[in-house]
Amino acid sequence: MTEVISVKFKEGGKAYYFDPAGNTAKEGDKVIVEMQSGKEMGTVSEGNHQVDEASIVKPLCKMLRFANEKDFKRVEENKKKEQEAFKICEEMILANNLVMKLVDVEYSFDSSRIVFFFTADGRVDFRELVKDLAAKFHTRIELRQIGVRDEAKMLGGIGICGQPYCCKQFLNDFQTVSIKMAKEQGLSLNPTKVSGSCGRLMCCLKYEQEAYEYLNSFTPLVGNVVKTKDGIVATVTDSSVITGRLTIRSNDEGIIYKVHRDDVKIISKSKKPKLD
């Protein structure tokens, strides 16, 4: 086991392990850490704790010290410089006739590196842009192409549920979401109704998928033929996966019944009854 602290660099972002280097940090502390790309300031999301060595990506970088007022001032200055860099980069993108959308700009804590995040439909030859930016800022320049989901996570916003984007609040990684999930959950299959502001299927479709898969495994579906405890053979005409309530029509007399899935047995998944 190894003692570490967990540090985040963005709100709702991923937490990374660092060697506390003899310091005792608690959740919420602002700390300066050493990374392979240079020094950065982050927020402790979990104080000193033990983790299995197998979960650590080596080499484990160290916490240097707790942040002070001078560090906070530097971060504020970097935010102002990011706004200026954003405007300059947009002007250079136009001057170079590049088909790309600038999303965000990040200065490293020590200003030794500037990262420009952008979206584009395809590959972009930005070599001349990098040269122009390097000549302007006289520091290391990085351009990173991101996807529309990453753009939504960076910029944030309000979803159709009225809450801030999940990806901005707490999702560390994007998980695979498919239209099959919407179908299994009884939602509209119209992509515009199950897609987020980013244009991709909503991440929240994943949240209850396991529960729906479990319930669907034993809940009779519309069209299934079932047999009640009273021996009535009927076809399911309506099914609620969550409540387990079913509407069935008897195959002999066409009488409608309201039953619970616990009170019936599936005898056929086709419309033709298979009697014992």
Name the 3-class secondary structure at 95.
helix
- In whole angstroms, give the CA distance from residue 144 to residue 155: 16
Q: What is the pLDDT of residue 276?
A: 44
Query: Both 55 and 86 in a single domain?
Result: no
**Cα radius of gyration rounded to whole Å, the chain:** 28
pLDDT tens-digit series, residues 234-251: 999 999 999 999 999 999
Which among 67, 100, 124 is the end of a domain?
Answer: 67
**Residue 209: how many CB atoms within 10 A of its CB?**
18
Which among 26, 46, 67 is the end of a domain?
Answer: 67
Residue 214 lies in a domain: no
Residue 131 lies in a domain: yes
Residue 276 lies in a domain: no
* Angstrom distances, CA of residue 264 to CA of 110, 155, 245, 246, 256: 68, 50, 11, 9, 14
Question: What's the CATH code of the domain at 261?
Answer: 2.30.30
Query: Both 195 and 159 in a single domain?
Result: yes
Q: How confident is the model over 145-161, as a mean pLDDT?
A: 91
Residue 62 lies in a domain: yes
Question: What's the CATH code of the domain at 135?
Answer: 3.30.300
Helix H, strand E, coil C: the string for 116-170 is EEEECCCCCCCHHHHHHHHHHHCCEEEEEECCHHHHHHHHCCECCCCCECHHHHC
Query: Both 76 and 141 in a single domain?
Result: yes
Count of domains observed in the chain: 4
Query: Both 87 and 133 in a single domain?
Result: yes
The per-residue pLDDT of the chain, averaged, comes to 91
Query: Both 128 and 92 in a single domain?
Result: yes
Residue 125 lies in a domain: yes
Query: Both 97 and 41 in a single domain?
Result: no
Instruction: Give the structural domain span for 117.
Output: 72-146
Residue 170 lies in a domain: yes
pLDDT tens-digit series, residues 126-151: 999 999 999 999 999 999 999 999 99
- In whole angstroms, give the CA distance from residue 93 to residue 95: 5
Residue 274 lies in a domain: no
Residue 46 lies in a domain: yes
Q: How confident is the model over 53-65, as a mean pLDDT?
A: 89
Among 8-12, 103-107, 181-185, 194-198, the range scoring the smallest mean pLDDT is 8-12
Which among 124, 146, 168 is the end of a domain?
Answer: 146
Query: Both 161 and 182 in a single domain?
Result: yes
Asked if the model's pLDDT at residue 11 lies above 90, the reply is no
Query: Both 120 and 134 in a single domain?
Result: yes
Query: Both 114 and 131 in a single domain?
Result: yes
